[in-house]
Structure formats: structure tokens, C-alpha cells
Amino acid sequence: MSELPANIPVYATVPTSKIMLVGSIYAGGIKLPRDRFVPLPFSRSSEDCTSVLIGDLRVTAYPVDHSAYGAVALLVEHGGIRLLYTGDLRFHGRKPGMRRRLVRELRGKLDLLVIEGTNFGRETSGLTTEDAVEEFALKTARNEKSLVMVAFSPQNLDRFVSFFRAAVETGRTFVCDHYMAAVLYMLNLASLPKPTATGRLRVYFPRKRARVEKYERHSRIGAITLDEICGAPERFMMLVRPGIIGDFNGELPERTQLLFGMWPGYREKPEWEKTKALIAKSNGRIMDCHASGHASPEGLFDFVQELAPKRIAPVHTLAPQSYASRFPQIQILRERMSQL
């Protein structure tokens, strides 16, 4: 298991700490050391905008739209100088208000914008918006009269909402796994459903899994078996991964469909080969149903123009020169890119 560097405080928002905790248990993620965890205020609005002092730096976390729930941009202030690090973000998800808030509060006030550029210099694929993901899933669930499987990270709550809403709209019950149920339990958001025995969200507990009673107890009431799913596959939309599909013992319901809600490159990993064969054997299809967790180049250009920073430091990109060619009037800190 990966570990964070020792002997330093770890600042994170409470939602992020919960996501990391569940991920460390069920997905081999980095474990957040509880004795060094320092909560970073999660400022949802200007009225709720609070900061924390780290040494002589004032840090404010601004929520941003990203595929991972709880993602933030960090405003760092010292001696009248303001730096904003965007982290990973996008502008085509379910939270447009987060972008508007950043622009409203920080336009023309930034000395340095440290900004991502993941989608520069590479071919992008998938659907353009999260709404388009939901629409594609809805159309598939409505037209196909068999089991619809979906693959995505349980940490991607926007994707969960897209698929869950598509399931409900078409009269299906959404079946999540123990990992997704634990995420919903830990975050405990009023806007998200909880598993029940008679509602539209049930839980499948894989045969091979990490068993953590305190995270499973709450969702046992909504437990469902494969026999129940296979008895009426047209009634369900089910979150899967290769290990879960292995529980079907080589026999998927006829015409099982799989909506792949992650970057298509992940589908080429060896662990998905058996799944491809089983889907083909059932006379079903695997279809990409994904919208990037990162902003498009044009979206980033518009964002920079709106914020109007004095300087830009591109990071996490194969083509940092894209900013320089688009904004000749803004100083691009090319010589420091490798250090940021």
C-alpha cells in the first residue's frame, strides 16, 4: 500500500479524507494518516469562505468541478501576493456554479495561475458533457431489454448520479457494490440516495472482497443476490468491475450491455479481457459512456481569459506552449514548469 511522506502534516478537506479512507480499504489507495490529518475548510460559497494558516501562508480551498468528488483549487496568499493552483478541473460537469464563483471572486486579482492542461497535445475521446453521459445511458437502458452493466470509479459521484438517474428514469433498480455503498455512507449527503430493500438502490456484495463490518452493516438491508438480478435482468443497472463479473461464473444474461464510464484506455488492461469475451458470448456490446474529468483546451483558454492573471505556470500537460501561443500578453513561466 502506498503511503504519504512521513513526519509532515497532511492538509485535506473532510470529504477528501473520507474518500481516501474508503479507497484505502477497498481499492488499495493511499492511506491518510489520522494522527497527521489537518482539516482544510471546504468553502462552498463566499459567505462560507474560510481559510487556514500554514506557516505564514494563507490557504483557501475552492471546490471545483472534477470527476473526483471533493476536488478543490487552492488559493495561496502571502505578503499581498496571490497564487491559485487549479488542480484537476473541468467545466462540463454538474457544477457550473463553482467556475462562476472562482471568476467572480478572483478575476484580475491573481499574480500567478498554476493551471492544468491535461487535454492539450493529446486526442480526446468520449462524450462532451456529463449530461450527455446520462442521456446515452438513459437511451441504452430504455432500448435494451436485458441487464445493463456500468463501469466507473465509485469515487466519481457525478458519474454515479448520471447512471442512477438513467436507471430510475427507465424503471430500473441501480445495483452498486460494497465500495460504492461505503462511499455513500461515509459522505452521507442528503442529495444522494441510500440503499434500501425496496427502493431504487440495492447493494451487491462480491464473493471476494474486503470485509469491514462497520461499513457493510448499514447497507445490508439493501443487499441483493445474483440470482435475483439474473432472474429479471431487464429490471437492473449494475455497477461492475472484472472481479464482480467473475461471480457470474462465465454466464451473463443474454444481450448484456456494458457502459464503460471511464477513460477508454483502461479497457485495454489485461483484467478486462475476460469481460470482453463474456459480453461477446452473451451477444451484448461494450460501449464507451464517459466524459473527461479534465477541461477541454477551449474551456481552459476561456477560463484564463476570465480570470485575467498576471502570470501562468502550466502543469500536468504535454503542450505547455499552448498557453503561450494563445496569451502572448501574459507571462508564461516556462523555465519553472518542471519544478511545479
For 80, phi then psi, to 5°, come to 85, 0
Largest distance between two CA atoms of the chain: 66
Which stretch of DSSP H or E encloses residue 167? helix 157-169
Please provide the CATH number assigned to the domain covering 40-122+294-339.
3.60.15.10
Q: List the Cα angle 275/138/267 in 5-degree steps.
A: 25
pTM of this structure: 0.90
DSSP string, 183-212: HHHHH--TTS----SSSSEEEE--SS----
- Phi/psi zone of residue 255: left (φ > 0), alpha (ψ -120 to 50 degrees), beta? left
How far is residue 125's CA from residue 229's CA, in Å, rounded to a whole number?
A: 32
CB atoms within 10 A of CB 38: 11
Per-residue pLDDT, 339? 40
Query: Could you give the residue range(s) of every CATH 3.40.50.10710 domain in the chain?
Result: 130-288
Query: Could you give the residue range(s) of every CATH 3.60.15.10 domain in the chain?
Result: 40-122+294-339
How far is residue 249's CA from residue 266's CA, in Å, rounded to a whole number?
A: 23
Which stretch of DSSP H or E encloses residue 291? none
Each residue's pLDDT expressed in tens, for the chain with a length of 340 residues = 456 667 788 888 888 899 999 999 998 888 888 888 888 887 665 556 678 899 999 999 999 999 988 899 999 999 999 999 999 999 999 999 999 999 999 999 999 999 998 898 776 667 999 999 999 999 999 999 999 999 999 999 999 999 999 999 999 999 999 999 999 999 999 999 999 999 999 999 999 887 787 777 778 889 999 999 999 999 999 999 999 999 999 999 999 999 999 999 899 999 999 999 999 999 999 999 999 999 999 999 999 999 999 999 998 888 888 888 899 878 888 644 434 3
How far is residue 80's CA from residue 121's CA, in Å, rounded to a whole number?
A: 35
**Pair 275, 109: CB distance under 8 Å:** no
How far is residue 286's CA from residue 293's CA, in Å, rounded to a whole number?
A: 21
Please provide the CATH number assigned to the domain covering 130-288.
3.40.50.10710
